[in-house]
Chain A
């Protein structure tokens, strides 16, 4: 796979107040790939997604999306360009209906024009959301809420979708089902970056992977190679 890079992160430092969370991170996302960002709880995965989304601007380094410098753009501008983050911890709008949640996904100007078409696509990927469209979002199960936030992100008509820790607290069977849907979404031409703690699963599901440790990139490469690599096997698979 030698396509062009859709996203390029170059040497960024990101802070939470005075605490430095990311150190000199560089990362490339290729167009159309499924990329895994793996790491333990405090490794800085979510911080990296927030930096890309414009919620926490880096103090150093640049972020480019489709060749354009987005390092200091505001979150709403970045969404409009085509990067949508799926927040962890079921970031639904709890008191709104499932449909209203999905419609919020199509908030940006360019997403509004394709709204009905995107809604039909989301219902195709997640038929359960269509069945529950008038239900208040907080009454959905954990898995359904995860489907809802992914569906909501798809409503934004993104080119790159970044999914933060979706498997948190979900049953393996539900996780497998969602990954299956993601493969379908990716087939349709979307680029997917997902963040996970589970090394084995992430490497299985991705084309390439980056492993973060304490705010630095410890390892990266093709998932197939990483699976065979001695270092990964020792450190993460315990064999």
Chain B
């Protein structure tokens, strides 16, 4: 085993892919609305449960289940913004944060009631199998995470830079007043931005469910990881989120490799702390 850096290196990069997808929605909502969405992890887990239920009840392939979970989560996100957060935004800066926390608690309890506290996992034939690089063996699910991350990243980047709606979202995040003066209906835009963040949550949910087991309260754990990613990469920067995810994945696999898996999360948090101390805006933040 000694000297074999390739295994943790590849595992870390692939695992980083999952973290990237989870963090993208958090980063987008913060970038556009300046809201730290404390319910993001739970919304991701809701996506996991929905895909799990669709897969186990009607046997639809988890990836294909996105056809259902994406519109459901998009709609849920749009409604959360338009009917809960929008009013809170007009009260104070903290009010939407508290609303988000409330949504988080409601979702965790909702998950408990519907799916029981048992740990679940989305196990298909392919998500359980492995692929080989030379003599090294890696789970296919990790590879799918990474591919999905790249696809979602590129799709989001193209959407934000090439479509009118995407450009309006970007513009509103950089100068809200100017965006309004150009004819952007910022109220609607926030709804769409939150909805789009929830699309990424649906995708994150299904890949998370195929990679790790999850429980009704797993959302918190993955919210913290998403925080770590955006803190390292810089909130609101897509490229930063991408590198932040890779760095976090690598820190986790390398510390697990050298020091044992018990301490891996300790080093993840340590890395976040170091970045916060020396570059609080994140490595690639503005």
Contacts and interface: CB of A to CB of B under 8 A. Distances in A.
A87 B174 contact: no
B165 to A, nearest CB: 10
Nearest to A111: B183
B261 interface: no
B170 A87 contact: no
B178 A87 contact: yes
A84 B182 CA distance: 7
A21 interface: no
A91 B175 contact: yes
Interface stretch (A1-9, A98-106, A124-132): A98-106
A186 B171 CA distance: 28
Interface residues of B, number: 18
Main secondary structure of the interface of B (DSSP, over half): helix
Contacts of A53: 180-181
Contact of B167 (A85, A91, A103, A149): A103
Interface string B172-201: 001101111111110000000000000000
A49 B164 CA distance: 26
B268 interface: no
A76 B184 contact: yes
A104 B167 contact: yes
Given A93-B170, A100-B167, A112-B164, A75 B183 contact: yes
Contacts of A85: 181
Contacts of B174: 93-96
Nearest to B187: A74
Contact of B178 (A76, A80, A93): A93
B177 A74 contact: no
A193 interface: no
Nearest to A105: B182
Contacts, number: 71
Contact of A92 (B175, B184, B185, B286): B175
Given A55-B177, A107-B164, A112-B164, A93 B183 contact: no
Contacts of A181: none
Given A107-B164, A112-B164, A96 B181 contact: no
Contacts of A70: none
Interface centre among B167, B175, B177, B286 (most CB of A within 10 A): B175
Contacts of B164: 107, 112
Given A95-B286, A107-B182, A152-B182, A87 B177 contact: yes
B285 to A, nearest CB: 12
B175 A107 contact: no
A77 B123 CA distance: 50
Interface in A64-94: 74-76, 79-80, 84-87, 91-94
Nearest to A109: B183
A105 B181 CA distance: 9
29 contacts: A53-B181, A55-B177, A74-B185, A75-B180, A75-B181, A75-B183, A76-B185, A80-B183, A84-B181, A84-B182, A86-B181, A87-B177, A93-B170, A94-B175, A100-B161, A100-B170, A103-B167, A104-B179, A104-B182, A104-B184, A105-B182, A107-B168, A107-B183, A107-B184, A108-B183, A111-B183, A149-B178, A153-B181, A156-B183
Given A76-B183, A108-B182, 20 more contacts: A55-B181, A75-B181, A75-B183, A76-B180, A76-B185, A86-B181, A87-B178, A91-B175, A92-B175, A93-B170, A93-B175, A95-B170, A96-B167, A96-B174, A100-B161, A104-B182, A107-B168, A108-B183, A152-B182, A153-B181
The 8 closest A-B pairs by CB, nearest first: A79-B183, A91-B178, A108-B183, A76-B185, A93-B174, A75-B180, A76-B183, A107-B183
Interface of B: 161, 164, 167-168, 170-171, 174-175, 177-185, 286
